[in-house]
Chains A and B, each alone.
Chain A
């Protein structure tokens, strides 16, 4: 009987699972990392706050309330709901300044990462693709940049260009270019020896097509991770420059600059020093968490 049933059964193709879309697979691995998800949520919140700063912030970041100088946060004695996180030495609302600072810091991160990624990518691809003298020249140059402590180099560049937010962003960008260049070069070298590149070359693809269409998309994973981590470096270094007086200038509500100008009130009004620092730490931590999560999710060789 069973034999009969078997022979009569319609031969149906075994239902094989279709491979999940890469994004679905990525999300499956990514969400297992609680820290990374928290980082992502914090960053999304920060982006919302930054974009809608005018709506979210209770006051203007530069308005001076002369009758409310160094008012403590609301939960301290003498605090009021008008200035939830207190005010600084010339009566500006701390909460509003920190909120506008988020806009500034995220913009710094975005510009620095875009600039350094673009230049680093171009240099790294050129070095990896052409090899030989070009490779040696580019990578030696990168080694020189790397041999200086990054903050020192950023300070030197900022000193040459003169203080200011834009120059600070430029100098921080210059400093991190080698990281992208090295990563890109390594990835390009690894890809170049693979069969599909050879096949494409045999099929007559020109160098530009080989570089941009064939090789580049396969080098993206480490670069995405590095770019995410680059946000935290950029925000930290720009804040450090601001703190040293070489970055954004007062009254710009940049977190590092805010810290520098409130130093003398450290003892009398600790809150003017606390909030900008908390903001930097939370933002940088969020980007680092996200970067770690991306690395684990994008790199199949790690951990799994």
Chain B
């Protein structure tokens, strides 16, 4: 077991180094010298420029600069945002809970709708419900979510007036940020109505962000269930006289869930990518919107750090899924 965990975990190291190198290159590939970008258009005398270059280590050979960069990254120093002058790491962690809350809500929505839809579609294979679910999920999978979000805003916010257009909370409320999760913070705070407001702000973005994972989960659940339902032990269960609910719920679902859980875990990358668009549309103050703003403001240190942190998050989750999969399924653990 330990051997399995260590082998899998060690595979992440070269990938992490590669991603670090990529983010290291990023700031050197963008047009303009990092110092000139920072100084802006006023310009500075050449001697001062040389001095600054020396202070920042930019006159060192590239491999030395990269080694220093890795050292900084590992000690948690990701540089300072050009715009706010705050450390990139602390900016990221201030904004990350908002993205995490949105992503979790989206995933819960996707799983709550996608799992039952996929199960029923598989059980009633070939029925109109099955065709409907497959058709809708392919449509969801093909959806440009930035447009989908606009449509939902148009209908639910503008026409019906049910949900707010943007943000996380009505301006009426002031809630102390204890955890960074608005739902938790408003629940803890003693403000009547704040929790409901936070919830109403969360619904539309969560649906938009959850649409593609929902489609993937529904399709995956259906095909996993179909595969399992054809197995001998399902026939045995039926032959023993077990109720249909028990056969499907206990025997089939348990085994069908293994690949589905993996797929849910692997959706994290898609989710973080989708968060960039969703947060931009709904002015959701999370990591995705921050990254887009960093690009538009040419705040390259923020972009560099953000990319590295997002990539690390995705890698960590993928590793976790891999390990969980190995723990759930011994065949994976022992195969070489």
Residues of A within 8 A of B (CB): 35, 140-141, 143-144, 147-152, 155-156, 159-160, 162, 232, 236, 239-240, 243-246, 256, 259, 263, 266-267, 270, 273-274, 276-277, 280-281, 284-285, 288-289, 292
Contacts and interface: CB of A to CB of B under 8 A. Distances in A.
11 contacts: A151-B274, A155-B292, A156-B307, A160-B26, A240-B146, A240-B277, A244-B276, A244-B280, A281-B142, A284-B142, A288-B141
B150 A151 contact: no
A265 to B, nearest CB: 11
A148 B307 contact: yes
B147 interface: yes
Given A140-B18, A147-B15, A147-B19, A152 B146 contact: no
A251 B126 CA distance: 47
B144 A239 contact: yes
Interface string B150-165: 1101100010000000
B262 interface: no
B242 interface: no
A284 B273 contact: no
A247 to B, nearest CB: 12
Contacts of A284: 142-144
Interface stretch (B85-93, B106-114, B309-317): B309-317
A151 B142 contact: no
Interface in B295-328: 295-296, 303, 307, 310-311, 314-315, 318
Given A160-B30, A244-B292, A266-B154, A285 B270 contact: no
| Majority secondary structure, A binding face | helix
B37 interface: no
Interface string B15-40: 10011001000100111000000000
A259 B147 contact: yes
A149 B30 contact: no
Given A151-B274, A159-B303, A267-B158, A285 B144 contact: no
Given A147-B318, A156-B26, A288-B142, 15 more contacts: A148-B22, A148-B311, A151-B274, A159-B30, A160-B30, A240-B146, A240-B277, A243-B277, A244-B277, A273-B151, A281-B142, A281-B147, A285-B138, A285-B139, A285-B142
Contacts of B151: 273-274, 277
A151 B277 contact: yes
A149 B312 CA distance: 11
Contact of B138 (A147, A246, A266, A292): A292
B14 interface: yes
Contact of A144 (B22, B139, B292, B296): B22
Contacts, number: 119
Nearest to B14: A140
B291 A273 contact: no
B269 interface: yes
Interface string B123-142: 00000000000010011011
B144 A150 contact: no
Interface of B: 14-15, 18-19, 22, 26, 29-31, 135, 138-139, 141-144, 146-148, 150-151, 153-154, 158, 269-270, 272-274, 276-277, 280, 291-292, 295-296, 303, 307, 310-311, 314-315, 318
B171 to A, nearest CB: 20
Contacts of B158: 266-267
Given A147-B19, A151-B274, A243 B303 contact: no
Contacts of A256: 144, 146
B147 A277 contact: yes
Contacts of A276: 147
Given A140-B15, A144-B15, A259 B146 contact: yes
Given A273-B147, A288-B138, A149 B310 contact: yes
A284 B269 CA distance: 21
A152 B142 CA distance: 19
A140 B31 CA distance: 28
Contacts of A149: 269-270, 272-273, 276, 310, 314
B314 A148 contact: yes
Among B31, B158, B273, the most chain A Cβ lie within 10 Å of the Cβ of B273
Nearest to A292: B138
Given A149-B273, A266-B158, A155 B138 contact: no
A277 B315 CA distance: 32
A155 B277 CA distance: 11
The 10 lowest CB-CB distance pairs between A and B, nearest first, are: A277-B147, A149-B273, A144-B18, A151-B273, A284-B142, A285-B142, A280-B144, A149-B269, A159-B295, A149-B272
B274 to A, nearest CB: 7
Contacts of B143: 281, 284
A276 B138 CA distance: 19
A148 B303 contact: no
A96 B147 CA distance: 20
A245 B142 contact: no
A273 B150 contact: yes
Nearest to B20: A144
Nearest to B23: A156
A227 B202 CA distance: 36
A168 B303 CA distance: 18
